[in-house]
Structure 1
Amino acid sequence: MVTAEDTYDWSVVESYLSSIAERGHQSVLRFYLDYPTRPSGVPDYLLGDGGISEDRRYDFWDNNGISFSPDYDDPRVLEMIVDFIGALGERYDGDRRIAYLTAGLVGFWGENHTYPMNGAVEPTNPDGIDWMPSAATMDTIWTAWDDALDSTWLQARYPSASVAQHGFGLHDDSFAYSTLPTTDWHFLSLVAQAGMTDAWQQAPIGGELYPPLPTCIFSEPLDCPNADAEIAGGRDYDFSGAVAASHASWIINHQAWATGYTGADRERAVAGAASLGYDLAATAATVSNDGSAASVSLTITNRGVAPFAYDWPGEFVVLGADGAVTARVSVDAAPTGILPGATATVQAAIPVDAATNGTVAFHVPDVMPGGAPLRFANVTQDQDAAACFAIRRTKLRPEHEP
């Protein structure tokens, strides 16, 4: 991305965003400087004679000296990171093709850790060397992210006081393996230690299914290698439990797209995906007509594990006999922020001169052109028109004889 100091080539990003948007989907993006087994992501202008140190090359994580961990406290590296974040925000904050940005940039895979070079003494790190940036450097980076993004959600890999202060979301990249709070270093234990137990109510949670698990986590009986010993040691191996406890809205599962699932495993994987995030259903509705306007009320219940995170405006529409919209009245972002088990009611008045008689329906279009709209879990969703939940057929104005 960074082709020279303060110079950026966004063509690769645009290619990904456009390709994904053509399928009607939003993207989750992460940028990295150090990805084990791949050439370094550090910009060329910081390398070579007079450049930053490349001494932190390593062989673990199958890297074999290919990438290196930069010194994040080097002022040149920090300046590049802060400038890149600012340029990224200027170009893409609020871009409707992007659902979430995971913070990235720091640590292996951009996951904000450099294990085993994290300060702890162990056989692969006998001197307890720490390659992570200082707290002051991380605070500078978090502040840069907060300054750069007003509309697009950012998610951090690990909870902290600084992450909580900035109101960022989180992502757990060892999902269903070290998610549950059974050990002090598991994801939800760290969430509690950072005072972020209720953060999911305001900021979204995401992550990645722990890479060894996708091939086996949806099998019954569970057939993950060494699972019994791992579970005895405190690991999860519990997808549904991790979803319920973390309130995750999205989880990467590479297996689903690499080779896929078959049979009962596929059914359980699909059900697992459906269990993530919000599950909104229309649970009550009324339509009344006083001769001047049709008063419409719709109650929405969230039966999922997390709220809908974005402010997508909804609208009541009137559908003609052919399913075409003959009138529409906008309402505030009704689906946003409804917590699991809670309800919200939206109301509107449709003037009788706004439309012919027809079916009143509720509609929440995707803010991205061509994107998948928000749909309710009701079986009658889309029955009368695509992306619409029909409430009732009503007369909006009297019919007169010619």
Structure 2
Amino acid sequence: MAKRHTAAAAACLLLAGCLVWAGRKRTVTYLPDERAFPNAQIGYAPGVLDSGTEGATLRYLGLTWRQLEPEEGAYAWEAIEQTCHLAELRARGVHLVLRISCDEPGDEAHLDIPDWLYEQTGTGRWYDIAYGKGYAPDYTDLVFFAAHERLLRAVGERLGADGFVSYVELGSLGHWGEWHVKSGEGLPSMPDEAVRDRYAALYREAFPQAALLMRRPFRFAAEHELGLYNDMTGLPEDTEEWLGWIACGGWYEGDPEGLVPMPDAWQTAPIGGELTSRLSMEQLLTTDLSRTVSLIRQSHMSFLGPKTAETAFREGYDAVLAALGYRLRVTEASLRRVTGGTVLTLTFTNDGTAPFYWDWPVNVYVEEVDGTTVEAQPLALSLPDLLPGGCQTVKTKLAGVPGRWWEEQDRRITLGIVDPMTGRDAVRFAMQTAQEDGRTVLFAGE
């Protein structure tokens, strides 16, 4: 590991805020870092084959059933993993947003379910509508449902066991997996709530480690504390209607109470989606940038993808990125010498619009000047409970801090949050101090 520059780090700390040393106690206050930057589990989630989104820690993987299981019981894992570079993404610490679909309207007549399944069922309907051409399956077909249960179990075992898939947008039903069908143009309506809930339950069983998101605030989402997603983000009429459903509930498929209020859902489950395709990037990110950012903040969104902001509109790109998800920082840190070591007290806050939803380990490290970790102490910090505007204060005792270490310049104290998938520190704190190798410098020798 490269040698650390502790003097430079100390200078950064002095610039970051107020450093006070009195007797046996030393205190540092830190200013917020308001710049936009990608961070673990939040931000832009471009498609796995897209380029141009800088440093994205999330990637969107959208797969049709036809792509996943071309032959009954034979899954195309090798082709998918090679084409989508999944091993490389996992090694880099990138996580996935996953959606599985059975019906994606297109320019030509086609199937998004496998041929073998169509031959076993064939109870759906071919269509040529305003959305495009395709085939709408009969989701009430028992053969279709049983095969779908096997599919989700297989995908969960392959991709969901180690936390690689962070978010699953419940798809499967309706056009693009969005749980709606263009029934006004002659297609059968979506199945009733009991059938829909059976599909949703399959996802809960298949992906116990992932955060699950539904397109609308269905009763199932409320009862099981699922997240929500909006594929029309930035379009005011659609997004305001979606926010209205979340606030008040609403009508769905003939049921006046098919959607239920979930105004506080974002406090315990993530909100995602993608930017609308109905408005240009110039309108979203320049002309109406303040409106776009306001809608995202009102939604408490953590990620956007696969349609994301374009870097050509730099100001808008950064403004949207900065509005997504948590922004954790330490407001104050103090060291107090005691018998047998030093007590470190840290006060954390969240300047973002959403919590960090995973209970990842938070550690304080004592490091040698060459980067060697001398000591690692876990902090009793509950990340999911640190809501925007809230704060938590925690303490820990460090044995590896010598009495006059700040003069000897031989050690420093850093902070990190470990991604269990990689075992590496992965979260950047939004505070003005040095950040190196996934760790945030709290104190360094002078």
Aligned pair 1:269/2:317, yes or no? yes
In structure 1, which of residues 36, 49, 52 is the aligned counterpart of residue 122 of structure 2? 52
Q: Which residue of 2 aligns with 1:398?
A: none
Tell me the secondary structure at the aligned position of residue 151 of structure 2.
Answer: helix
Distance 1:88 1:354 in 2: 51
Tell me the secondary structure at the aligned position of residue 53 of structure 1.
Answer: coil
Q: Which moved more, 1:320-329 or 1:196-205?
A: 320-329
Per-residue deviation at 1:10?
2.5
Per-residue deviation at 1:181?
7.2
Q: Which residue of 2 aligns with 1:227?
A: none
Tell me the secondary structure at the aligned position of residue 363 of structure 2.
Answer: strand
In structure 1, which of residues 238, 242, 248 is the aligned counterpart of residue 291 of structure 2? 238
Cα distance change of structure 1 residues 189 and 138 upon mapping to structure 2, 3 Å threshold: same
Cα distance change of structure 1 residues 178 and 145 upon mapping to structure 2, 3 Å threshold: farther
Q: Which residue of 2 aligns with 1:20?
A: 89
Q: Is the 8 A contact 1:218 1:269 kept in 2?
A: no
Q: Which residue of 1 aligns with 2:353?
A: 305
1:29-80 deviation line (CA, Å, top 9, x unaligned): 11111111174221222223x53235332243232xxx20001111111112
Distance 1:339 1:317 in 2: 25
Number of residue pairs matched by the alignment: 359
Q: Which residue of 2 aligns with 1:359?
A: 412
Gaps of 5+ in 1: 224-236, 396-402
Tell me the secondary structure at the aligned position of residue 318 of structure 1.
Answer: strand
Q: Which residue of 2 aligns with 1:251?
A: 304
Cα distance change of structure 1 residues 180 and 340 upon mapping to structure 2, 3 Å threshold: farther
Q: Which has the higher contact order (CA 8 A, sep 6+)?
A: 2
**More helix as a share of residues:** 2
Q: Which residue of 1 aligns with 2:388?
A: 340
Note the aligned Cα RMSD (angstroms): 2.8
Q: Which residue of 1 aligns with 2:146?
A: 79
In structure 1, which of residues 386, 390, 395 is the aligned counterpart of residue 437 of structure 2? 386
Aligned pair 1:36/2:87, yes or no? no
In structure 1, which of residues 285, 289, 294 is the aligned counterpart of residue 337 of structure 2? 289
Tell me the secondary structure at the aligned position of residue 364 of structure 1.
Answer: strand
Tell me the TM-score normalized by structure 2: 0.73
Q: Is the 8 A contact 1:180 1:245 kept in 2?
A: no
Tell me the TM-score normalized by structure 1: 0.81
Per-residue deviation at 1:94?
4.0
Distance 2:323 2:434 in 1: 19
**More strand as a share of residues:** 2
Distance 1:110 1:283 in 2: 43
In structure 1, which of residues 117, 127, 130 is the aligned counterpart of residue 188 of structure 2? 130
Percent identity, aligned pairs only, is: 28
Distance 1:337 1:187 in 2: 26
Q: Is the 8 A contact 1:24 1:370 kept in 2?
A: no
Q: Is the 8 A contact 2:342 2:401 kept in 1?
A: no
Distance 1:180 1:337 in 2: 30
Q: Is the 8 A contact 1:300 1:335 kept in 2?
A: no
Aligned pair 1:199/2:265, yes or no? yes
Gaps of 5+ in 2: 1-67, 250-259
1:315-338 deviation line (CA, Å, top 9, x unaligned): 110121223322111234543331
Q: Is the 8 A contact 2:156 2:207 kept in 1?
A: yes
1:181-208 deviation line (CA, Å, top 9, x unaligned): 75xxx11111121121101100000001
Distance 1:353 1:270 in 2: 39
Distance 2:311 2:379 in 1: 41
Per-residue deviation at 1:255?
5.5
Distance 1:22 1:90 in 2: 18
Q: Which moved more, 1:314-323 or 1:385-394?
A: 385-394
Cα distance change of structure 1 residues 168 and 354 upon mapping to structure 2, 3 Å threshold: farther
